[in-house]
Every structure is written in structure tokens, then in C-alpha cells.
Amino acid sequence: MTVRGVDLTDLSPVSHLLNAPSRRLTWLTVVKASLAVAVAWQVASALPGDVAPVFAPIVALMTVQSSLYGTFAQGFQTVAGNIIGVALATGLVNTVGRTALALFVATFVGLAVSKRLPIGSGARGQVTFSMILVVGLGPTSGYATARLLDCAIGGAIGIVLALLIPERPQVGPVHSAIETWARGLRESLRETATALSVEDGAPVPAAEQHPFIDGMLHRLRAADEGLTAAVAGAFESIQFNPRARRQRAKVQELADVLPWSRRLSLQVQAIALGVDALYDRASLQPRLDRRVLSQLLLAASGLVPDRSGAPDQAVAAELRTALGRTLGEATAHQASVAVVLDSVSLLGRLDHLLVELTDTSLLPVAMGGEAATGTG
């Protein structure tokens, strides 16, 4: 699924349904899963000849997810994976019995078959799991049909419970992810400013980076992944959900924060890498005073918002004035553009960052953009 040109990879592939970051185990999910297991066991136990309906509660447990979308997709795939595994293992155990060789063959066939199936990784694992369980349970004469029905019963009960008790849209995690991203952006700007504030630090060898670079890049990547997963989880939580009618517009507004946050993260990374390339290098003498640039970055960090709210235009105007003055000082009395090109590039990226942070026509609605403030 794509939102404003951003691929929400945690939503589209159903193979992520078991381990995607958007899989959130809420208390309501815990209650529904427990209820599904109990009901599935009770219903399957009532079937004639079904003396050990273990597959019904297992499939019910695997089916119940925190969203209807996840429950539907996981339910159908889990049922399919278990039915395939039970069918294959039934024929195997009735042919060769319960032996170590049977377990070897069951595992090998289960993994080989599941590798070729066009289903998610969790459901593929169920093929092998169900084959091993069937072999371990012993002869299946007169019981094969009941085991197949167990799988269908478990999946059906999980889906029915999800339909009867839909969960609230997952909007809160997106707000938390935005706050985490904003905090990471501020910390990255401050770390860069701190590195510049050290006047006589030891020169950094040409083959090395400043110590803060790796941590900063990891922090921003993790924040982007967290926000992407949270947005994907929010969209997933409103699919087929009758409780989400009034939340769809809100989720879209929050999704619009994602491309904006990525642009800002890229600008901050570019600024930090530019500082790393120019400063504390034995062969370079940047025209841009490091103390002045440090102060500009600290001021810019204070403009990064956590949530919706009109940016402080007075602070932004003062910062732009300082930026223009710094640009003039860096380019004064220079005969060659090449001498100041790197410094000008750094200031240009910082100016672009300020525009993204303060121009209400560029801010997402969820972060105080024009539609939220009512400005024209």
C-alpha cells in the first residue's frame, strides 16, 4: 500500500503478519485469543470421533490478530497451511507409521512444500508444525477428517470473534512514533552542534568519521522504521473496521507526516555528514565559523515539533536573519566560488530544513499545517 508516494511495506506483504512491528498485542487481543482458543476446543470436542482436537485451538490462537485485516489474512493462511500439513502427514503416517524416519520425512517435506507456497512465512511454518504434530500424535485412521475440520473450525472462530469484537484504530502508536522521531531529530542536531563547539579537538583521520555519526544515523533510521511501521499499523487497523469510520481522515493526516519526516531526516543527515567531512580535517579550512554554525544548529533543534502547533515565526525569522548574515560572512572577499562552495551548501541545507519546519504550507496538517490552523 502506498500513501502519498510512500510504500508502507509492513501492510502490503502478508508474510509480515506474525513478526511485523505493527503487530501489537493489546489486552483486547489477549482476551479475544483466549476466548477463541476455549470456544474452538469446545466446538471441536463436540465432533464425533474427535478425541483430541488440538488443531482447533492452535489455529484459533494463530488467527486472532489486533486488526481485522490481519485476522482475515492470517486466518485464511493459517487454515490453509495447517490443512496442507495435516493432509500430507496423514498419508505419511498411515503409510510408514510413527518412526524417526517418518519425522525426518515429515519435516523435510513440510519445509520443502512450504518454501514453494505463495503464503506468508507464519503460515508456511504451520505446514511443517502440523506435519510433525500429526506424526507425533500417532495413527489417524478415522481421525483425518476430524483434524481437517479442526483447522477450519479454529480459523472460523478466530475470524468471527474479530468481526464481533473489533478493536480501536491504532492511532496512539503513530503519535508516539512521531514524538520518538522528533526527539531523535533534535538529538541529532544537538550532537552535531556539540561536535562543532569543541574548538581544539583532535583531528579526525581521513579514513574515520566523527564519533557521533554512526549513532546518529542509526537513531534516525530506527525512528523512520518505527514511524513507518506505526503508520502501516494504523492503516491496517482501519481496514474493514466498523469502529474506524471517524478515524480514517485522522489516520491519513498522520500518514502525511511520514514523507515530511523523511525529508527532514535526510536534511539533518546531510548536514551532519557535511560537518563530518569539513571540520577537524587536517587538510581543510572551512570558511564557515564552527561556533556560529553550532549556534545555528542548536536554534534549529528548538523548532522541531512533537505534535501539532503553529511554529514560532519570530524565532524562525531571527534564525533566518542570522543565517543570511552568516552566509555573507562566509562568502566575503572570495575570488573563487570553489573556496566557499561546501560552506554555502551546508547553510543551504540548514535553510531548507528551516523552511520545512516553519512554512505552514509545507507542514503536514497533523503537525500544524495550514489546513489545521485555518490559514490561507
Burial class (CB in 10 A: 0-12, 13-18, 19+), 211: exposed
pLDDT for 144:
60
Asked which of 121, 139, 164 is the last residue of a domain, the reply is: 164
SS3 3: strand
161-200 residue pLDDT tens: 988 998 888 898 999 999 999 999 999 999 999 999 887 6
- pLDDT band for 51, please (50, 70, 90 cuts): low
Q: Which residue has the higher pLDDT, 182 or 116?
A: 182
Q: Are 284 and 292 in contact (CB under 8 A)?
A: no
29-45 residue pLDDT tens: 899 999 999 999 999 88
Say if residue 212 is in the same domain as residue 282: yes
Q: Are 352 and 268 in contact (CB under 8 A)?
A: no
The whole domain housing 160 covers 27-164
Say if residue 152 is in the same domain as residue 184: no
Q: With respect to residue 4, please indicate whether it lies within any of the assigned structural domains.
A: no
Say if residue 95 is in the same domain as residue 118: yes
CB atoms within 10 A of CB 303: 18
Q: Which residue has the higher pLDDT, 365 or 286?
A: 365
pLDDT for 18:
39
Asked which of 103, 134, 164 is the last residue of a domain, the reply is: 164
How many CA atoms are closer than 13 Å to the CA of 307, on its beta-carbon side? 4
pLDDT for 55:
84
Say if residue 330 is in the same domain as residue 195: yes
Look over the chain and give the mean of its residue pLDDT values, rounded to a whole number.
Answer: 81
CATH of the domain at 359: 1.20.58
Say if residue 220 is in the same domain as residue 340: yes
Domains: count for the chain: 2
pLDDT above 90: percentage of residues in the chain: 28
Q: With respect to residue 22, please indicate whether it lies within any of the assigned structural domains.
A: no
Cα-based distances in Å from 274 to 197, 199, 281, 334, 336: 15, 17, 12, 21, 20
Prediction pTM value:
0.75
